[in-house]
Amino acid sequence: MLLNNDPSMIASVERKEDIVDDLESEIAVYLAEMAQQNITKSQGLQLAGYFHAINDIERIGDHAQNIAQLCEEKIEDNYPFSKAAVQEVDQMYHKTRAINAKAINAFQEKDLTLAREVMVDDNEIDRMEKRLRDNHIARVNVGDCFPPSGVIYLDILANLERIGDHSTNLAQTVLGEN
């Protein structure tokens, strides 16, 4: 949406977020029913991990929806983004998308190696967010940034960083840390 100034994607994001919310609710009910059965301690821990995982996946959907709404606001209000800001958001988006895909794969496959890689990648995303915020402040200081655009830019970065955090939580579930 941001790169193409195309608000038509908002409906798709909203639809997918509604589906994720519904699935999270249905899965939570199922997991609660399973937890009431005669299960082992190990199975109980596994169910707890699944509860955490579905919550994290739902929160990722919320952050994706937030980003779509921020992009829609930017487009509707015709807020300019500098070329550097667009490139930075694109860079962080791709890094966040990659960590999320890796976390989902680690969770599905119970792949400890991939889960550990996610932990390292999340540290990179945290550093990237700080660096991009610093870049933004430098642009503001020299007048290269329209202040309302800057607010949206920073909110997009924060939502991407949070997606990275929730992806890390999925990896921690695989590693037995959550």
CB 126 within 8 A of CB 164: yes
Is residue 153 a contact partner of residue 136, using CB atoms and an 8 Å limit? yes
**Structural contact between residues 10 and 1, judged by C-beta atoms closer than 8 angstroms:** yes
Residue whose token pair is 């400890």: 112
| CA dihedral sign, ordered 52, 54, 57, 62 | negative
For residues 79 and 87, give the distance between their C-alpha atoms in angstroms, rounded to a whole number.
Answer: 16
3-class secondary structure, 72: helix
Confirm if 39 and 159 have CB atoms less than 8 A apart.
no
pLDDT band at 178 (very low <50, low <70, confident <90, very high): low
How does pLDDT run across 152-167, given as a tens digit for each residue?
Answer: 999 999 999 999 999 9
pLDDT at 17 over 90: yes
pTM for the structure as a whole: 0.92
> pLDDT confidence of 48, banded at 50, 70, 90?
very high
Which of 8-12, 75-79, 112-116, 167-171 has the weakest average pLDDT?
A: 8-12
Return the number of other C-beta atoms located less than 10 Å from residue 78's C-beta. Answer: 8
Task: Give pLDDT tens digits for 103-135.
Answer: 999 999 999 999 999 999 999 999 999 999 999
Residue with tokens 């409906």: 11
Cβ-in-10-Å burial (0-12, 13-18, 19+) of 22 comes to: exposed
The C-alpha atoms of residue 132 and residue 37 are separated, in whole angstroms, by 49
